[in-house]
Structure 1
């Protein structure tokens, strides 16, 4: 009995010590008199509990923090990433300050991979630290120049778009209407585009109905306990990645990307593929000589992953919203009918400038931004003062988060924010959009390097699907999109089914 009482006493003391420790950690913003969302001293997870239990998506979590009623009048507010104090920026001027005006004080993203145990992950453009990021960004930016997009990428995308139309015809099976799921078709489209543009590889996913690139990304993104632990550590406990040996890419995916790079570069050296000299692998080859052996494979791997998660889901979301509003779809089809005429393709200039198509895609990006949230880490050794906006100095190492999903669905800036309304982006109304309240690809030097290509890929996918079909809701169409809590980017938890009806122009 004495031993039991002693054990109970020690346990009580241990719990008390943990409680007092957490109470002290969670008092940071109270001590600094900064508006914040209180955290319970009975949990070590701060405000991440629901995310760690896979009950809420990344995008929804940071949107809920942004929209919390207790901080709705604050320009910024504190919350806790585990026990680490973090900031949620809510004011467009502060967002502009951190992302653009004072970029030199916020050089890095907070998340990080361990360069010793995971060099492939640490070298990826989103996770690389300055100055490795600067050199990689400078080199990769050449891939997305206007001239390269028009002269090299656009003709290759047209080949994929032709195969997209043929794929849809086969799925229709000769019927005038057919209920189809969106995810597979959209994923095959985006992975085929990625293969052609960046690796000079004709993957043929749309032709064959299956894709090795799609299989690899789906396998990588399929959650298991190890992947979840590694991912959470990289994003929220980057200082501990060395202990967990956390990896951005699973071993199988990393091996696949290394083999892909080696094969494509070997074919280029043997002059089997003349287009390869100007693809991503060709552009990175000079920089590879001064970098880790996994450098090129790391960039190739993250480009595929980013395009797979964002572009494919966004195309599905856009078709879903158009199906729910037939009048909008009819207006868009009238514009496309005139633009296509008797041709099976759109010119680069036409695709880039069609006004209503652009409005539809911009509104889709407002509701479903490519980046649901972003962050920056204060890298100024002395910290960064937010005066005169807020009487607070951001200490070095503190992360500042921006909920893009939150600000782009904020009724303060976007009346009736959940309603899909392309007229928000009518040319006459663009001047009314408050700067930094619409940043679907992020902003500043760290903004998405492929934003223009992503928008063009969305426009073309929508245009060529609607060229010969219209989409309608059906009995299997969900009433409301719920975001998948097991994926990093915005993805529908439920499969999106639409009725495709033959409706040629």
Structure 2
């Protein structure tokens, strides 16, 4: 009886302590007098996430509500107190000026048990710096030129497949075609696989690429536990990636390594560059130090993040671009005329130099990335107590999560007049020169910007140029206007299929 009572007291004590801890944690900003919304006990200020609100909607509404109240407002990422940045000067300090205090993204990684999480996007501290140094030489303009023929080959195949699909009617779901295009590009460049999902939509590589964004290992409660107690979760060997996804990509990588090394195969693609890192054949670092080899697991993780970052984001960007062009015929026609004019100057051959000459098409892509911000929020973790200059009350504590709402900045009338309007002239050379880089953040900014931005833009430019040269796009009765974002994914992607009327351009 005494033992039962003692156990009951211990349990009640633990419950009481947890309730006190949670209440204190969820009153962090209120106690400091910093503006914030009242948080939900489980979801914090992410109320509605995965059900009624997308991450972009949450970020934009918070930015608009609290802008002008201070350099940042209080926010709760689930139960984690977070500094939600409202001022571009502070955003610039975090991403560039004081980057050394905010180098980490604060995402959970566990490469020992979950090898595919050991990629550049999620790595922190010294591990991130080492891997960034190793990978930077693989994303130079010279390396892009080497991969350019692969992308143009797939772009030409995209035209053939779309043209064939028009025999069944002029209304097409364009997102699927674009996803198959980027799958074939990434499959070839990152994994050395000619999966040809453009002709075979049910290709296993294509299907697994989709599942990466859909299949989750943990529920929202499990994710909250990982966010709150990352060190404990690593000790408990908790994984993020579903086993079937890990097994699929690790098998492909191992088979590809064995095949290329056994047969002396070189394709001048991203996988070749990773193999050089594995075998320690890459150039030295800037300070002359030889780079250490990467392991097979590290190689697989980098190839995997190349897929994640390049497959869905690029196809989604292209889909949003076609969606906007279908509603703005004059913009579409201007972009098409530029593409045709540039190709004519190059005797009909799509060269690497063509992309630079297609300045208006580049403006269309930049405006698409502004209006449809694929990654709506940038995240950082503070590495030491940080006092915001000129604001004594505003301090970001060591270990605190920081959110920079890129989508809020992109829809701020102070930077983009009439932000709801699709206007590529926002990105003329003159306006870009006048604008601070921090006011356009689809790829982040500073030392930890997206390392693959050159490849992502190249892929989108090639795909759109091929499509615009050969097809005209228009809205139809099945086109969703305005388009709605998927509530279940962090990135901004269409909630449903993107249907457009497609016609062959008569030359």
TM-score, structure 2 normalization: 0.88
1:99-118 alpha-carbon deviations (Å, 9 max, x no partner): 11111111211111234433
1:476 match: 478
Alignment of 1:61-100 (within 5 A): 61-67=58-64, 69-100=65-96
1:219 match: 211
Q: Distance in 1 between matches of 2:362 and 2:319?
A: 16
Alignment of 1:150-189 (within 5 A): 150=145, 152-173=146-167, 178-189=170-181
Q: Closer, same or farther in 2 for the Cα pair 1:326/1:422, shift >3 Å?
A: same
Alignment of 1:297-336 (within 5 A): 297-336=300-339
8 Å contact from structure 2 (residues 102, 380) kept in 1: yes
1:464 match: 466
The alignment partner of 1:253 has SS state of helix
Q: Distance in 1 between matches of 2:194 and 2:213?
A: 23
Moved over 6 A (4+): 11-19
Alignment of 1:10-159 (within 5 A): 21-39=21-39, 43-51=41-49, 54-67=51-64, 69-121=65-117, 123-150=118-145, 152-159=146-153
1:443 match: 445
1:196 and 2:152 correspond: no
Q: Closer, same or farther in 2 for the Cα pair 1:398/1:126, shift >3 Å?
A: same
Alignment of 1:234-245 (within 5 A): 238-239=230-231, 241-242=233-234
- What displacement does 1:234 show? 5.0
8 Å contact from structure 2 (residues 116, 304) kept in 1: no
1:396 and 2:398 correspond: yes
Q: Closer, same or farther in 2 for the Cα pair 1:244/1:370, shift >3 Å?
A: farther
1:129-154 alpha-carbon deviations (Å, 9 max, x no partner): 2111111111111221011111x111
Of 353, 356, 362, the residue aligned with 1:352 is 356
Q: Closer, same or farther in 2 for the Cα pair 1:145/1:14, shift >3 Å?
A: closer
Count, aligned residues: 486
Q: Closer, same or farther in 2 for the Cα pair 1:236/1:418, shift >3 Å?
A: farther
Q: Distance in 1 between matches of 2:141 and 2:219?
A: 37
- What displacement does 1:221 show? 2.2
1:6 match: none
Q: Distance in 1 between matches of 2:353 and 2:276?
A: 26
1:2-24 alpha-carbon deviations (Å, 9 max, x no partner): xxxxxxxxx99999877655443
2:3 match: none
2:277 match: 284
1:394-416 alpha-carbon deviations (Å, 9 max, x no partner): 21100110111121112232121
1:291-323 alpha-carbon deviations (Å, 9 max, x no partner): 555211111112111212211111100000000
Q: Closer, same or farther in 2 for the Cα pair 1:452/1:261, shift >3 Å?
A: same
Q: Distance in 1 between matches of 2:300 and 2:425?
A: 42
Q: Closer, same or farther in 2 for the Cα pair 1:119/1:503, shift >3 Å?
A: closer
8 Å contact from structure 2 (residues 106, 124) kept in 1: no
Runs of 5+ consecutive residues of structure 2 not aligned to the other structure: 1-10, 281-290
1:413 match: 415
- What displacement does 1:276 show? 5.7
Alignment of 1:230-269 (within 5 A): 238-239=230-231, 241-242=233-234, 246-269=238-261
Q: Distance in 2 between matches of 1:235 and 1:368?
A: 27
The alignment partner of 2:100 has SS state of helix
Q: Distance in 2 between matches of 1:166 and 1:257?
A: 29
Could you tell which deviates more after superposition, 358-367 or 20-29?
Answer: 20-29
Q: Distance in 1 between matches of 2:20 and 2:462?
A: 57
Q: Distance in 2 between matches of 1:213 and 1:17?
A: 48
1:449-493 alpha-carbon deviations (Å, 9 max, x no partner): 111111111111111011111000000000111110112211100
TM-score, structure 1 normalization: 0.89
CA RMSD of aligned residues (A): 2.7
2:6 match: none
Q: Distance in 2 between matches of 1:120 and 1:209?
A: 25
The alignment partner of 1:206 has SS state of coil
The alignment partner of 1:297 has SS state of helix
- What displacement does 1:61 show? 2.1
- What displacement does 1:345 show? 3.5
Could you tell which deviates more after superposition, 385-394 or 329-338?
Answer: 385-394
Q: Closer, same or farther in 2 for the Cα pair 1:241/1:258, shift >3 Å?
A: same
Runs of 5+ consecutive residues of structure 1 not aligned to the other structure: 1-10
